[in-house]
């Protein structure tokens, strides 16, 4: 079984996708390495699975990682973490995540080694997602059905408890309100890119 790299804009379900696939395919513990959240992370011409999520949610989730209160595993020793009430720096993080989102997905369909899936398909039809991954990447390994709670528990056990669905913190709610006020739908390039990609991807599954 050839390795399939997983990459996506921050906050788009990479941890869940990795654990789901590793648990679902027999003897596939090391076959789905994660890449990063930037355009450079998908330029290498190797089989790559990319997840696209609604930008309001992805950018909010990505920005939330920078809050001290989020206790994000990868940022444990980062000195740039910010307080929940530091509005100016929260806005800077939101703007940074928006920039990375747009850069990541811009003209992504031109990359022939990349296969796109939506976050909604991953989370709402997880078993169909696994089967589509197997079909596209020609994976012959035996598939074991895994429940979403089972996969989420593995994500938690790996030290990424803040990467699963949970009650929204005050900091997260504040970020979401800021995003809505900063980016109006008609002028939101990230949303335009997402909706165009999602429409095409949804049609492929009909």
Tokens 């998908």 belong to residue:
42
Give the pLDDT score at 206: 66
3-state DSSP assignment of residue 51: strand
H-only helix segments in the chain: 14-24, 55-64, 87-105, 119-124, 126-136, 148-157, 170-182, 189-204
Per-residue pLDDT at 71: 82
Domain segments of the chain: what residues? 5-204
∠ CA 16-17-21, rounded to 5°? 115
Residues 6 or more apart in contact with residue 14 via CB below 8 angstroms: 6, 7, 8, 34, 37, 51
Q: Evaluate if residue 149 carries a pLDDT over 80.
A: yes
- Pick 5-204's CATH classification: 3.40.50, 2.30.30, 3.10.20, 2.60.40: 3.40.50
Which distant-in-sequence residues (6+ apart) come within 8 Å of 48 by Cβ?
4, 5, 6, 7, 35, 42, 111, 113, 114, 115
Percentage of the chain exceeding pLDDT 90: 80
| 6 and 114 Cβ atoms separated by less than 8 Å | no
pLDDT confidence tier of residue 187, bands split at 50, 70 and 90: confident
Please give the pLDDT value at position 99: 97
How high does pLDDT run on average in the chain? 93
Chain segment 28-45, per-residue pLDDT in tens: 888 999 999 999 999 999
């Amino acid at each position: 079984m050839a390795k399939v790299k997983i990459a996506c804009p921050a906050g788009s379900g990479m941890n869940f996708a990795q654990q789901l696939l590793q648990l679902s395919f027999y003897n596939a513990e090391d076959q789905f390495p994660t890449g990063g959240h930037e355009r450079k992370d998908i330029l290498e011409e190797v089989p790559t699975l990319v997840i696209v999520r609604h930008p309001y949610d992805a950018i909010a989730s990505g920005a939330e990682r920078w809050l001290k209160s989020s206790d994000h595993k990868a940022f444990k020793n980062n000195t740039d973490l910010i307080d929940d009430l530091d509005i100016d720096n929260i806005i800077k993080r939101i703007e940074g995540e928006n920039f990375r989102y747009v850069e990541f997905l811009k003209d992504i369909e031109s990359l022939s080694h990349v296969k796109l899936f939506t976050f909604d398909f991953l989370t709402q039809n997880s078993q169909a997602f696994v089967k589509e991954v197997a079909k596209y990447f020609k994976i012959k390994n035996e598939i074991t059905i895994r429940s979403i709670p089972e996969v989420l528990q593995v994500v938690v056990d790996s030290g990424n408890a803040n990467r699963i669905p949970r009650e929204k913190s005050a900091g997260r709610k504040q970020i979401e309100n800021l995003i809505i006020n900063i980016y109006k739908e008609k002028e939101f390039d990230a949303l335009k890119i997402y909706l165009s990609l999602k429409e095409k991807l949804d049609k492929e599954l009909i």
